[in-house]
Structure formats: C-alpha cells, structure tokens
Structure 1
Amino acid sequence: MFRFGEPTYLYLLLLLPFLAAFYLYSNYKRRKNIRRFGDPTLLAQLMPDVSKYRPDVKFWIIFVAIGLFSVLLARPQFGSKLETVKRKGVEVIIALDISNSMLAQDVQPSRLEKAKRLISRLVDELDNDKVGMIVFAGDAFTQLPITSDYISAKMFLESINPSLISKQGTAIGEAINLAARSFTPQEGVGRAIIVITDGENHEGGAVEAAKAAAEKGIQVSVLGVGMPDGAPILVEGTNDYRRDREGNVIVTRLNEAMCQEIAKEGKGIYVRVDNSNSAQRAINQEVNKMAKSDVESKVYTEFNEQFQAIAWVILLLLLAEILILDRKNPLFKNIHLFSNKK
C-alpha cells in the first residue's frame, strides 16, 4: 500500500502554477522591453554570447525540482507488512439514493451533493470503524464493500452520480436488504445502516426490510434529504427542469412520513437533512452511542520510506542547473553543426 506520511506538504504543489505563470509573464515583459530598444534579431547579433534557451531550461529544471521537493517533504511510503489487528469499533453501511429526484436543489448545492458532503464528514469522524457504501435508485448495488480504508471510501464517494443506475425509482427495501447481507460475519460487532434518501417514488418493502434488519441487531437510521414543499429537478448541463409527458415541470417532495416509519421499525433515528449541519451532528452521536466491539482489520503496520530516489533526482537536477550557464559556452562558440558555411 502506498501512502504519504505528511500529505499536508503536497499543498505546496499548488504554488507551482503561480510560479510558472509569473515566469512566463516575466518573459513576456522582457521580450516586450527588448522590442522597445530595437529589432530583436539585430540585438541578438550584438549579443552573440546571450543564450535564448538556457534561462528557460534552467527555470524548468528548478520548477521540477521544487515539485519533487514538495513530494519528498510529504514522505512517500510503501507498506511492507500486512497484519490483522483488533480495534474497538462498529460497522456502518451507508445506502445512498442516487435517483434523479436527488438532483433537486431545495437543499444546496443539491440533495445529492449535500448527501455526499455529509457522508464525507461522517467518514472523517469514524475511528477504528468499518464503512461500506450502497447506491440505489430503481435497483441497488454495492459501491464499496465494507472496509476500514477511509481514503478509498472517499474516492469512491466522489464518483457517485445518478448515471450509475439507469432504472429509476427508490428501491429502499432492496438497498436495506443488500446492506444487511454486506456486513462481516464477525460476532458481537455493533452494526448500523444509514439510509440517505428523499423517499420519493418509494417502491414498497422498505418498512419490512428495516424491521427484519432490526431483528438481526442491525440499526436502521434514515436521513431525509430535501424539503416537504419540494423543488423542481434541474436537467444536468442545462437551465431547464425535468417535465412530465404533458410538459409540466416535475416537483419532487421529501416523503418524510415514510422515512420516519422506516427509522421507527429499524430501531434507529430519523433526521431531516437541511441547509444546516444538524443532521451531521445527530447521526454522529447515534453512531458513537453504539456498542463498540473488537473489529478485525487488515492494516499495514510497517512502511518503508521512499524519499531516497526522489532526493537523488533532485540532486541531479540541481547539479544540472548549476552546470548549465546562462550564457553560451565559449568552448563551443566556434562549433556550427548546422551551418551552411564551408
């Protein structure tokens, strides 16, 4: 497994575009000033020892060296020893509704984006726990099997969008059943399913699925995204809204009563996700209240530093920059490889 020991230093890479832009602008101003004094070709003949390309080569060498130095400071590492360890934690599977109605913007920036941000913060709060993700619309499928790899969880989260499932609908029952089957077989571990949905076009079976999960000791909580008053569904890439066959704008509304019933039968909580962070705090508290048991995880316990190769490359680049003179080398000024003179 590859990781950075100090990933914060990677933010230094954000300075590189500004450095490149400053250098290019400086070159532009320099050429502009030269043209003010006379013809650039004539001036080049008057200064035969001035190299046109060497300053650029030297700059880009330094540019690459700075980028590599940022990576070096971040301490790239490869895992060398995989071990099974036991930690106190719980298992959480998040079932996310990705039907088209989740594109409504009664919650900013949209129901789906708000839900994804909430999940990202929830993953950040997990400690020694396992997390999995299921997405659903008319069908449900596993987006991320249950894991303790939070980095992968957030990477998979970024790729979620309604195009992953073509069949429209809100198969909450199918998602809960799939989630209930997705936990590890380990005994004595606290388990929870967090359903994030607007509950519209509910296809039935969700309450029964939540009740069956609760009987197995799996808590089912629901986060309702949206507002009861509803909102139109924006067509992605346009300023228009989705319409029915008669041409009327479709308004999608949060089915709060159904969400509350699912949470009640699932022995969990229901929280409406609005434009505040109240839902985030409530679900974090609910997860923290769960009984934490020993959770087995395979983790890398030893990491080998990989900075040596990068350090050598940086050293070679700096030596090359020093050896390349700003002016043409006088030792080679009489050598004309491409000259037509005889």
Structure 2
Amino acid sequence: MMAHLPSNFHFLRPLWLLALPPAGLLAAALWRRHGQASGWRQAIDELLLPHLLESTQNSRQGWPFILLLLAWLLACLALAGPVWEKLPQPVQRKEDALIIIQDLSLSMYAQDLSPNRLTRAQHKLLDILQARREGATALVVYAGEAHTVCPLTNDSKTIAALVPALSPAIMPSFGSNVQEAMALALQLLTNAGLSRGRILLITDEVTPAAIAEITKLLADKTVSLAVLGVGTEAGGPIPKNDGGFLQDDQGVIVVPRLDPAVLRELAAATGGRYHDISLGDDDITCLLGGEAGLPGAGGLQPVERQFDQWQEQGHWLVLLILPMAALAWRRGWLLGLVLILGLWSGESQAMSWQDLWLTRDQQGARVMAQGEPGKAAALFTAPPWQGAAQYRAGKYAEAAAAFAHAPSAEARYNEGNALAKAGKLPEAIKAYEQALQLDPKLEDARFNKELVEKLLHKQQQQSQEKQQQDQQQGQEQNQASRGQQGQDAQQQQGRDNQAAEQPPQDQGKETAKQEPGPGDQQDRRQSGQPDARPAPKETEQKTAEADEQKMSAEERQALEQWLRQVPDDPGGLLRRKFEYESRNNQRQQQRRPATKIW
C-alpha cells in the first residue's frame, strides 16, 4: 500500500491519528453491549430464536455502530491533514529599496560624541536595520574610495552582522570620497533593476564641490536622499594609537567639525531631509518615516516563490461524512453530531512520525535546531549536513571524513577546518589547497591555509628545539653518569685497600657489610633509606612519558592559539575584499589624490 502513495505524502497534524485505537475499542464495546441487551436471547432457546425474531431488525440495529466507526475513521484522517503536493504561493513584497552610505573617514574617530563618532554611527545603523521590516537594503562605505559591503538584500540581519567590523582601519585608502559612494549606490539600484529608491548618507562632512557633483548625479533620478549628521559643531581631535592626535602638514592638530548648514544644503538640493544624530529614534523617524518624500515608494511588487505551502486534501473526506450526518437526525443517531462539530482545521503544526513522514535529512535538521548535533549527525545522509553536525559535536575527524565525500570547494574548505581542529595540520593544508584549486576566489581558505602553515612551521621549530634540548640533557646525564662511575670506582678501590690493611678477623665483618643479604633491601625500604642502585630503564621510561605529555600539552596549546586566530572575523574578509577591488580600480582608472586624509 505504501508503494502506491505519493513520495511526499504525509500528515500535517499526525497526532489526530492517535484517536483511531480508542474508536476501535469503543465500537467493539458498543457492539458487545448491543448483543447482550436483548432479553429474548436469555428467555428463548437459541434454536427457536430465528423463527420468533425478525433478522432484519438485528441487522438494522447493527448499522449505526458500523457507520459510527467509519465516520470516526474518516474524521480522524481529515483532521490529521493529509497532503502530498505543494502549491506556488504568490506573495507581494514592499518595493522599498534603501541604500545606506556610511562614512569611514578618519574624522569618524573624533571623540566629540561619546565614545566617538564611529561607535555612535554604528549603533544608529543597527537601529535602522532593526527597524527595517520590509524592502531591500544595501550598505556602501567610503573613505578615499567607495566599496560595497552588501548589495540590495531583504536579509537585514546579514548586514547587521557586518556592522561591528566597519572602521577606517579596513579601508585601503584614506580620504572622504562621498561622490564615488553616491555613484556606487546608484549603480546598485541599476543592477537590481529598480528605477527608484532611497539613499541615506551617514557622514560628518561634505564639501561644496561634492554637493555640486552629487546634485548632478541625482538630477534625473527618482531617488530621495536623506542625510544624517554625525558630530558636533565644536568638533574634537582625532586620537592616534601612540596617544597623540592627528596633525596636518603644518603640525596643527586636526579638529573636524560638523557643519549642519552644508549638510542641509545637500539634502535640500536633492529634495531630501537632514537631521542630526540623536540618542532616540526621532532622527530615524524624520529621515525614513512617511516614505521620506519619495514619490511612489512603498508600492507592492508581486513575487513568485514556492514556499513549503502544502495543499490539504482532508476536506474531501468530509463529503463522505455528510450522508452519515444527515442520518444523525434519526432517533438513536444523534451521537454522530459530535463528529461533525469536531471537524475544524486548526493551525498546521510541524509534528510528524519521524520515519514515516520526514526524510532523514529533515529529521536531522530538526534535531540540529534543537541543539543536539550528535544525534543529528546520526540522522543526516547528505555528507555536508553530516559533516556540519559532526563538527558542531566536536567530532572533527568524523566531520572531515564526511566533508571528504562532497565535491565542492566549500566542502574542501570545511574539511580543512575540521582537520585543523583535529590537529592534522598537513592534511588540513592539502584540503585548503584543493579548495583553492576548485575556487581561487575563496579568500577564507587562503587565509586559513596561511595560518595553518605558520602554526605547522612553529610546531616543527618547537619540536627541533625540544630534540636539541633532549640531546643536550642526554649528554649531560651521560657525563654525570660517567663521573659518578669514576667516583664509585675510586671509593671502591679505597675500601679494598683499607680492607687489605685490616686484620683477618675483621675482614669477614667488612665483607658482610659490603655484601648484603636478601633481606637488606627490604630493611632499607622499611627504614625509609633510598636504594643506592640506579634503575636506568625505569628512569628513561618516566622521562619519555613526561616528554610525551609535555609535547602533547604544547601541541594543544599551539592549536588553541591557532583557533583563537581563526575567529569569525568579517573585518579581515572585508579588508581583503576592499584591497582587491582597490587594486583592480587602480589598474582601470587614475584616481585624483586626496587633498586631506581625514
């Protein structure tokens, strides 16, 4: 029977099937009670009953219980929600594209805002992303050059994860090229196929020349510009790592100041709004609330996507119950009304009988979400999922073996991480090399490969140094042993000479002292005196075990240090990405040198 069912057949609410066994027990009990309820069977002989009683009456009285059982069965199946096909669910999303431009020039380090302008801007940026419920969002940063942190996406959490890594330190060049950032933002809108959108500029300074160029860029565009000013009119110096402050060419301390009038001029020239950064949400409401003056913004755009929307088929079973419900108005059939009242379709719940309704990978994904990667690894059949579960469970060797069965570059990269965690550094380097052969642009694999190579080189140096120390200690021990043997020989020779000079009657006593009996060693141990005889094999074995433990501890410590060097650091990835883009841009076009670096 299961072979004829669709492959995707399952129940949305399978717990309703638990009501089937009680139905069978209830039907059996009612049938038995009905058979015992006839008083004629107790008073008349069974041979005379067929001639005295009408058989049609007995059969007619048995039908209600059969129909009750059948209705109960159909009702339970309908309430369980049988499904086997998915339907494309048309949805509509809000057509509201917002591109945020973040200033990462050195002036953002100024401390006129506590703790500094950069930190306040990051907090405000996170608040904006958290408030974005619908619409696509992108993030562009600029200093001497402009770079895309994230293109237009509906997943604002991805952008929020990158915000803490944003700082002037990741930018390839210093300066404040806001014009290039604005052109890059418009290019993102064009690439996404959008004709209108909103741009939010978070900055502390815009020059009059930049205002003229930005106005030309936005002249024929259906784009609204909002400007958020960061800083104070009093300004503040830019601290350096050595404890001093940034100075210009004349040796004067640079104090960047916020000029709200210039920023308001920029917003007014482009038909946008301006607001100073604040501790509350009034600045976000002013700049982004009410569509921020963008005509036609916030419209709905149809999107065709196929979700996990299953089409229930249980309502067809209700049609089979309707004739039984019609008969419930007859005398003795009112019990069928209980079944009709229970037929309602509640909210679908993700509950199932594991092996019957879900694949092994789906079961493993649910167990993984519950925080049990060890159990999930036993359920997964796909090698990437199985390797990820083993990795989270701390079984790095098993994870590497699982990743080895997947042919992708990401699988080789994950295999290298698992091998590095397991302490197999040469094998990890080979896995990283294979990943780079499949995908030369996989920067994380190249970065981890360099770290593992440095760690392996460091371990090899430590091993060589340890071998040299062991050799030196062995030579010193040999020399000390030889010196001790020479002293013992001299002492023995002196005792022999002394014994030769003593009278014969004392020689036997001296010999007895020099040749102890079998019980002397036990007496020494009982008295607490050490045994003077050396045990070279036992000493060497203990030394080797101690060295082995020490080596393993050193290797573990080195591995922990390497693991601390391989964090989930989006800042390093962004820095390498921006440097790569900067090199390509320098080959393609000549840039104007920045007049100032802050």
TM range (shorter): 0.5 to 0.7
Alpha-carbon separation, structure 1, partners of 2:290 and 2:105: 26
Task: Mark the CA change 1:279 to 1:123 in structure 2 (over 3 Å): closer, same or farther.
Answer: same
Partner of 2:134: 128
Alpha-carbon RMSD across the aligned residues, in angstroms, is 3.4
Partner of 1:285: 289
Q: Comparing both structures, which one devotes a greater share of its residues to strand?
A: 1
Give the drift of 1:267. Answer: 0.9
Alpha-carbon separation, structure 2, partners of 1:300 and 1:135: 35
Task: Mark the CA change 1:105 to 1:312 in structure 2 (over 3 Å): closer, same or farther.
Answer: closer
Give the drift of 1:250. Answer: 1.3
Partner of 1:240: 244
Could you say what secondary structure the match of 2:272 adopts?
Answer: strand
Partner of 2:265: 261
For each residue in 1:253-280, what CA deviation from the matched residue of structure 2 results, as whole angstroms up to 9, or x when unmatched? Answer: 1132321121112111011114554323
- The one-letter amino acid of 1:263's match is A
Give the drift of 1:112. Answer: 1.4
Whether 1:98 aligns to 2:98 is no
Q: Summarize the alignment of residues 24-173 of structure 1 with structure 2, pairs less than 5 Å apart.
A: 85-173=91-179
Could you say what secondary structure the match of 1:88 adopts?
Answer: strand
Alpha-carbon separation, structure 2, partners of 1:94 and 1:174: 14
Alpha-carbon separation, structure 2, partners of 1:170 and 1:257: 18
Alpha-carbon separation, structure 1, partners of 2:306 and 2:158: 15
Give the drift of 1:189. Answer: 6.4
Give the drift of 1:238. Answer: 4.8
Alpha-carbon separation, structure 1, partners of 2:95 and 2:129: 13
Larger of the two Rg values belongs to structure: 2
Higher RCO (CA < 8 A, seq sep 6+): 1
Give the drift of 1:103. Answer: 0.7
Give me the identity figure in percent.
Answer: 25
For each residue in 1:99-147, what CA deviation from the matched residue of structure 2 results, as whole angstroms up to 9, or x when unmatched? Answer: 0001111122211111111111111111221100110112111111111
Partner of 2:224: 219
Give the drift of 1:301. Answer: 3.8
The answer to whether the Cα contact below 8 Å between 1:135 and 1:142 also exists between their aligned partners in 2 is yes
Q: Say which of 231, 236, 249 aligns to 1:231.
A: 236
Give the drift of 1:82. Answer: 11
For each residue in 1:254-313, what CA deviation from the matched residue of structure 2 results, as whole angstroms up to 9, or x when unmatched? Answer: 132321121112111011114554323322325476521235779884495623355484
Task: Mark the CA change 1:209 to 1:244 in structure 2 (over 3 Å): closer, same or farther.
Answer: closer
Partner of 2:256: 252
Could you say what secondary structure the match of 2:97 adopts?
Answer: strand
- The one-letter amino acid of 2:152's match is I
Whether 1:210 aligns to 2:269 is no
Could you say what secondary structure the match of 1:283 adopts?
Answer: helix
Alpha-carbon separation, structure 2, partners of 1:283 and 1:162: 25
Segment drifting more, 103-112 vs 187-196: 187-196
The answer to whether the Cα contact below 8 Å between 2:267 and 2:273 also exists between their aligned partners in 1 is yes
The answer to whether the Cα contact below 8 Å between 1:193 and 1:218 also exists between their aligned partners in 2 is yes
The answer to whether the Cα contact below 8 Å between 1:189 and 1:294 also exists between their aligned partners in 2 is no
Give the drift of 1:89. Answer: 3.5
Could you say what secondary structure the match of 1:232 adopts?
Answer: coil
Alpha-carbon separation, structure 2, partners of 1:83 and 1:117: 37
The answer to whether the Cα contact below 8 Å between 2:277 and 2:283 also exists between their aligned partners in 1 is yes
Alpha-carbon separation, structure 1, partners of 2:164 and 2:185: 20
TM-score, normalised with respect to structure 2: 0.35
TM-score, normalised with respect to structure 1: 0.60
Give the drift of 1:156. Answer: 2.0
Task: Mark the CA change 1:307 to 1:192 in structure 2 (over 3 Å): closer, same or farther.
Answer: same
Alpha-carbon separation, structure 2, partners of 1:158 and 1:264: 31
Alpha-carbon separation, structure 2, partners of 1:180 and 1:147: 15
Q: Comparing both structures, which one devotes a greater share of its residues to helix?
A: 2
Q: Summarize the alignment of residues 307-326 of structure 1 with structure 2, pairs less than 5 Å apart.
A: 307-308=366-367, 311=372, 313=374
Task: Mark the CA change 1:206 to 1:173 in structure 2 (over 3 Å): closer, same or farther.
Answer: farther
Whether 1:175 aligns to 2:181 is yes
Give the drift of 1:85. Answer: 5.0
Task: Mark the CA change 1:299 to 1:146 in structure 2 (over 3 Å): closer, same or farther.
Answer: farther
Task: Mark the CA change 1:130 to 1:184 in structure 2 (over 3 Å): closer, same or farther.
Answer: farther
The answer to whether the Cα contact below 8 Å between 1:104 and 1:252 also exists between their aligned partners in 2 is yes
Q: Which runs of 5+ in 1 are unaligned?
A: 1-80, 317-339
Matched residues, number: 235
